[in-house]
Amino acid sequence: MVDKEQFETIGDGVLVRAPAKINLSLLVAGHRADGFHELETIMAKVNWYDEILIEPGVKADIELVCQGPHWAPTGKENLVYRAAKLLLECCGLISDIKITLTKNIPAGSGLGSASSDAAATLMGLNQYLELQLPNRQLAKLAPKLGSDVAFFLGGPLAFCTGKGEKIKKLEKKSNFLAFLILPDVSVSTQKVYANYKHNQSLYEKLSTQINSYIQKNRIDLVVKMCANMLEISCYSLVESLAELKAKIESLGIGPCCLSGSGSAMFCFIESGDEEIAGQYKRKLEEKVGCKSIIVSSNRW
């Protein structure tokens, strides 16, 4: 899959690309007083994108059009609409804009596409309307839209804590090649968290190890751990995903990791060889019959 630029001018409009993310690690530190879970996660953007085109509209309102191979809500509950509305209201603006969301990344897959779409909308409108708002100002709006939105406003790799909204950029680049396994299953994040049983000793063990690797700038070693504390909860809710993981690993491709709360999984290609990645992809589709795509770390 080819790397693309984040922004592109098309006619009178601005096209913004919204990348998917994978969780290189995901630890649950425990329950919070507000009912959410305290997280520690390393998130990395990959070069697979939704696209958001912002252009002049025909009425003094936000017109949202959704297209592409995957479903997205077309009403005011869509995070793209909510992000646009929030930014305009905060700036005291009424603008006639049309936003077209091309949904390439499936929802309910643990790839963060809705949050990425929201962040891309904030950045795209900032550029389209020539608001010149600094990124820190956009970041103040992010928690009102979702816990992962702040991550997508920044660089390609970060250590995220809290509900995921506290971002520490990781300067050490982690260039990788992987293929994403895309089961035809949508998993409810809310149900996965509700089903989660906390293991404090496991958290402490994994957190100590991962933080040690971060301090040594050895993100590659974090990747090899394949640590996601939501896996048990997800796989107990959707047994077919547990079976799929076992089938994939039986092919000798390597450890198969869950991204976020699922359903997408990923396998890293340690050699970084695209030809080998292609062979694995064909093997997976022939033996297991599951859709997959080859991705690499995103530049921005």
Active-site residues: which are they?
21, 148
DSSP 81-92: HHHHHHHHHHTT
Q: Which two tokens stand for residue 202?
A: 């496991």
Q: Which two tokens stand for residue 199?
A: 């293991």
Nearest to 118, CA basis, from 91, 84, 166? 84
CA distance readout (Å), 284 to 26, 49, 57, 100, 249? 25, 23, 44, 34, 10
Q: Under a CB-based contact definition with an 8 Å cutoff, are residues 155 and 167 in contact?
A: no
Say how far apart CA 300 and CA 294 lie, in whole Å: 18
Residue type, 28: V
Quote the DSSP letter at residue 134: -
Q: Under a CB-based contact definition with an 8 Å cutoff, are residues 164 and 148 in contact?
A: yes
Q: Under a CB-based contact definition with an 8 Å cutoff, are residues 156 and 297 in contact?
A: yes
Q: Both ends of the chain: CA-CA distance in Å?
A: 15
Residue type, 90: C
Place of tokens 């090649």: 177
Sheet holding 292-296, edge to edge: 257-258, 265-268, 177-181, 292-296
